[in-house]
Amino acid sequence: MPNLWRDILEKLKAHGFNTVSLYGHWGYHSSSEDGLDFNTATHDPRPILDLAKEIGLYVIYRPGPYVNAGMFPNSIKI
């Protein structure tokens, strides 16, 4: 839910957090054996990474086959 990212990240920062951890499910980015997709709208992690930088948060980006959360790849929950 990209429209909620700013609000959530600003609340984290206001509560004293300096880092946020984000998961990127590898299967979501490798829809075929021939390549990876980090460029189409919902596959591109740069918007949330740029927003976190703008707000002043560090990001631990965790790409991999395992996502330790009950969420969709283009949303975050706290």
pLDDT tens digit sequence for 26-63: 766 676 777 776 677 677 788 889 999 999 999 998 87
pTM to 2 decimal places:
0.70
Q: What is the pLDDT of residue 60?
A: 93
As a whole number of Å, the CA-based R_g of the chain is 13
